[in-house]
Structure 1
Amino acid sequence: MAANRTPGDAADPRPVHERIATDLRRAILSGDLPAGEPIPSTEKLKERFRASSASIQKAVTMLKGEGLLEGRAGSSVRVLAVRRQTMTPAAYSKPAEDGQPYRWLSEAEKKGRRPGIQLLQVGEVEPPADVREALGLEAKQTAVLRKQLLSLSGEPCELVHSYYPLELASGTALADKVKIKGGTPTLLASLGYPPLHTVDQVTAEEATNEEYEALRLPRQVAILRTFRVVLSTDDAVIEVTTMAKAGHLYSLQYDF
């Protein structure tokens, strides 16, 4: 039987430069290192982290690759004006009003962001096991997939896989490779399946190859993965969606 251990028993196994980058990243994103200001000098960082100059430079290079720092060797390295953008799912999960665009688009525009949606794939597929379970499907059963890449101001921000029961989606615009005016919540409501209850499970995970390439991620950051189940009348599951965002650039806000 393993002996009882306290958190202090285990040393951080990560390479020194990754630990330095993690601490600096947190300070940048929280605002403790303000935009436009230089980061602490190499000597101060060496003393603070008991690290070599090479480790400090590797950490700085990582954060430059993430778009958090700028500067050249021999000059001060400064913090870029980058903060996590907050996404508020409750603001765009409801059907749009008559004649209005998908709420995700209109909410982004309200905040001065230029939104875009690229429809990558639509078709009948066998979903992953967790999606099948949520939809109540057996192994080998299929659903309709709508895969999209969302962008803000020309930069990819979210890779979305949305799955719909065949009996609901077949013969509707959900099964066609066309953008849906007002978004899928509006279409579902028009089909008699209004989205009434949404359950989100959010986890921090390493990116898959697909997510890494689609979101243009730097190597060392995690993604925020949202697993969403949307229910309608009589708690019928009408949609299961997975969404992936860069963890260092986005946060999710829920009001209780």
Structure 2
Amino acid sequence: MTAPENNFISHLIELRSRILRAIVSVLVVFLCLAYFAQDLYHLLAMPLLATMPEGSNMIATDVAAPFFAPFKLTLVLSFFIAIPYVLYQIWGFVAPGLYKNEKNMVAPLLFSSTLLFYAGMAFAYFVVFPLAFAFFNSLELEGVLVSTDITSYLNFVLKIFFAFGLAFEIPVAIILLCWTGATNADSLRAKRPYVIVGVFVVGMLLTPPDVISQTLLALPMWLLFELGVIIGGLYSSKKQQQESS
């Protein structure tokens, strides 16, 4: 067997090992949280329960939903909690192939992208959910009793979590684009009017059909775009100075 084939097989073995470690980390967190599955679901439902009309409750339309909905939430939450370790495994696999300046750039981006994803989820839970659910439950229809299905609610909030978590990654995406030379801060500033329209379109597509949720997603995306442009501009200037010297 030739040396390139040996290297390829060794890379595959390492990749398998790191994927298994990432999966095991998620399972370990899940086993630790499984006992508290019901409590975790109640905590997730609090923003809705606090705004529901008096005398109304959440319901389960599937006989197995009271069991599977909390455990589905716990599994997804376990992945969210294990994200830093999962990213560490990814970093451990790709780091040997990076140059020193690339390592200095990628490591902070992995750390900041994790924090931004968590920040997006926290913003959705503490800001978006209370306002959006209060708006939804204020729209009373005669003869209609508000009783949200627990599985439908879980799917709804998970979509919102992913939407806001990914939306908060905008600065990281912009910095990577500036780093690779695909664009620069001046070009992005010139496209600001199109970006503003674009973030409201994205907010409309990723959130429920109400102005509150759409605006609460679009405004942070715009502000994060501006932050990414500022940091990307600083990095581009620093890179140009290093190249000129």
Whether these two folds match at TM > 0.5 is no
More strand by share: 1
Structure with greater helix percent: 2
TM-score bracket, shorter-length normalisation: under 0.3
After TM superposition, the score normalised by the length of structure 1 is: 0.23
**TM-score normalised over the length of structure 2:** 0.23
Considering Cα pairs closer than 8 Å and 6+ residues apart, tell me whether 1 or 2 has the greater RCO.
2
